[in-house]
Chains A and B, each alone.
Chain A
């Protein structure tokens, strides 16, 4: 729609999604103001990753609408969808880097195909984003030569290289030690603080979530059972939500 969209950056409105008889999301609604971080919490298999994939229009909802920066991604044609996706970055759970390309080539692929940047400008953009994630010296390495934490940071670099307005991160700290997880959290915070990026994070790491999150959404069996600030979720009266957001509950 418009680049001057003033409403929430992301709106989920009565979204329902099922895979066969399995109802993954049941009429879920929430919104995320621009420049804020929403952490989506929930037990495994409750539809958290599906929520992110619906937002990126990698999946289609059975009903409901999903708005990103003023555009309903459920009704867009491929050309319109491509424009909306340009505003978003996606950090996949296992980074999903392209195996046969070096780190530099992974980042150069979208820049070379989707922008009119010159080679020098592409080099500048890649060096900049790789420096931010502290991988500037590793740009010639293949993904198989990177550690788990480096791959996550490389995935984040690729998600950020087109300077998205909305960043989706699927379990950015899963499988990482607490120090590396904390570094990833710091990168997300810096992205929100310096660039004003709206961020949706799916996570099981409550410490990280409390550190980066402004708002929290708790999903249970496909339903949104709590939504709001950490205090609001804790006081929502839902036991599952309280356990998931509590830092004292055993991991």
Chain B
């Protein structure tokens, strides 16, 4: 138990340092852009097909149930609500925790083991500001954008599945999909993924940057990054959903 409290304390203080250093000049603009490309652009080939496949499969499942109750017209609405409110943000967060979390943890741990972080410090350069802060900022910016890609890829998958089953037109699918969607169902859940991004970036950077176990620490940092950030994303999702319901009561389904 004391280990858990110690870990929470260390990660919290690490996160607080990220916020403070992120607001302090000089801003690492080029590093942030490089990391957005690394975190965001390079994750698209994972996120978009995953969203498409999930959307297709979800329509398979919801269709049989809704047709039984004579509510097949609700299929696009259910699909859109499910993706924008919960599936898109959560699955994008978990996929990114796997791809980006392991990447950040392994890269930083490898730099630590190869004394590259010491080398940066020896050159009078703040290694934390150069390596950690841009990665976390990139996660915070990229995750909401990737979530949008996942949402729309899911809708596309659902639409194609529905076309194959019932021949529904695109116009009708879109109008039904967005008919039951409030702005609160869209904006707040999408923006909550910025928090997921902060969690993934902070936790994986923490494990990579603070490792002191040489080469053996690289694999451990990557594994811990994925496991802990995935777990924290799920816990944060529960908390944030309650917060969103509190702030936007109309978004509660």
Contact = CB atoms under 8 A, between A and B. Distances in A.
Chain A contact residues (Cβ within 8 angstroms of B): what range?
20 to 34
A92 B124 contact: no
B13 interface: no
Contacts of B119: 90, 92, 96-98, 158
A92 B123 contact: no
Interface in A49-65: 53, 56, 58
B125 A110 contact: yes
B172 to A, nearest CB: 50
A92 B125 contact: no
Contacts of A82: 124
B125 A96 contact: no
Given A88-B122, A96-B114, 7 more contacts: A53-B118, A56-B121, A78-B126, A94-B115, A96-B116, A97-B119, A158-B119
B124 A96 contact: no
B47 to A, nearest CB: 24
B124 A58 contact: no
Contact of B123 (A53, A99, A114): A114
Contacts of B126: 78
Nearest to A168: B122
A90 B125 CA distance: 13
A98 B124 contact: no
A88 B120 CA distance: 13
A56 B122 contact: yes
Contacts, number: 50
Contacts of A88: 122
A85 B122 contact: yes
A14 to B, nearest CB: 24
Interface string B122-138: 11111000000000000
Interface string A108-120: 0110011000000
Nearest to A92: B115
Interface in A81-105: 82-83, 85-86, 88-90, 92-94, 96-99
16 contacts: A58-B121, A58-B122, A85-B122, A86-B124, A90-B118, A90-B122, A92-B118, A94-B114, A94-B115, A96-B115, A99-B116, A109-B123, A109-B125, A110-B125, A114-B124, A114-B125
A162 interface: yes
A113 B125 contact: yes
A114 B121 CA distance: 12
A98 B116 CA distance: 6
Interface residues of B, number: 12
A73 to B, nearest CB: 12
Contacts of B125: 109-110, 113-114
B124 A85 contact: yes
B116 A58 contact: no
A84 to B, nearest CB: 9
Interface in B100-158: 114-116, 118-126
Nearest to B122: A90
A181 to B, nearest CB: 20
A92 B118 CA distance: 9
A48 B114 CA distance: 18
Q: 9 tightest A-B contacts by CB?
A: A96-B119, A90-B122, A96-B115, A110-B123, A85-B124, A82-B124, A92-B115, A96-B116, A58-B118
B182 to A, nearest CB: 44
A93 B115 contact: yes
For A96, A158, A162, the residue with the greatest tally of chain B CB atoms inside 10 Å of its CB is A96
Contacts of B123: 85, 109-110, 114, 158, 162
A93 B116 CA distance: 11
Contacts of B120: 98
A153 to B, nearest CB: 15
For B114, B118, B121, B123, the residue with the greatest tally of chain A CB atoms inside 10 Å of its CB is B123
A93 B114 CA distance: 9
Interface in A156-198: 158, 162
Contact of A110 (B114, B116, B118, B124): B124
Nearest to B114: A96
Contacts of A110: 123-125
A65 B116 CA distance: 26
A11 to B, nearest CB: 19
